[in-house]
Chain A
Amino acid sequence: EAGVVQSPRYKIIEKKQPVAFWCNPISGHNTLYWYLQNLGQGPELLIRYENEEAVDDSQLPKDRFSAERLKGVDSTLKIQPAELGDSAVYLCASSLDGGGNTDTQYFGPGTRLTVL
């Protein structure tokens, strides 16, 4: 079974430039998560989708961040414009059921963003 796929794995951009991250969850997984992981810290939820619907985006900085999950499969997370403080690892995860509390989340390898 293929795991969660993310691309690119690494991205270096200048501040104020836009950047986009792509995630393909495990086939059949209805719930998709985007997390931000700063160095030395645990992941922090940015947004959670159940199928196409964003059911929790309370931690997403909506002035510069946006996300979409068209057709309830792949998802894209965008930052525009990027700031120095956005340098971090962006993790995508998916789980099988409808966002149940007990679901195991399966994580992709992450995209390491460096903003210069």
Chain B
Amino acid sequence: AQSVAQPEDQVNVAEGNPLTVKCTYSVSGNPYLFWYVQYPNRGLQFLLKYITGDNLVKGSYGFEAEFNKSQTSFHLKKPSALVSDSALYFCASVGTGGFKTIFGAGTRLFVKA
């Protein structure tokens, strides 16, 4: 069965430090992977996606993610965190042959000034 795991409920990082939000997936076939961010009282906003090609994907607001097939991971990264990055982050996957998007449970990122 298709699944997405975000092993950390919360990540704390100081402003200016690099951040990583982890995601692992289990899908049949080649995965299509997404990261979304959710700010309070707002819907999810698209950050980036991996479809094929270069394993390092760059997205909005300076975020990037690396697809690692052997580790079935798609961790979200940013070289220098901002306080405004504090939000809820969701990893999602869609397996080939199906159209249903499966979301992880989310990771809350706190960036301290």
Contact = CB atoms under 8 A, between A and B. Distances in A.
Given A42-B106, A44-B103, A45-B100, A109 B90 contact: no
A40 B49 contact: no
A8 interface: no
Q: Bin the interface of chain B by size.
A: 20 to 34
Main secondary structure of the interface of A (DSSP, over half): loop
A47 B92 CA distance: 17
B13 interface: no
B38 to A, nearest CB: 8
Given A42-B92, A42-B104, A42-B105, A99 B44 contact: no
B99 interface: yes
Contacts of A45: 100-101
A104 interface: yes
Contacts of A93: 43-44
A43 B4 CA distance: 12
Interface residues of A, number: 25
A43 B92 CA distance: 10
Interface string B84-103: 00000010101110111101
B70 interface: no
B41 interface: yes
Contacts of A102: 32, 49, 51, 94
B49 A104 contact: yes
Contacts of A100: 99
Interface of B: 4, 32, 34, 36, 41-46, 49, 51, 90, 92, 94-96, 98-101, 103-106
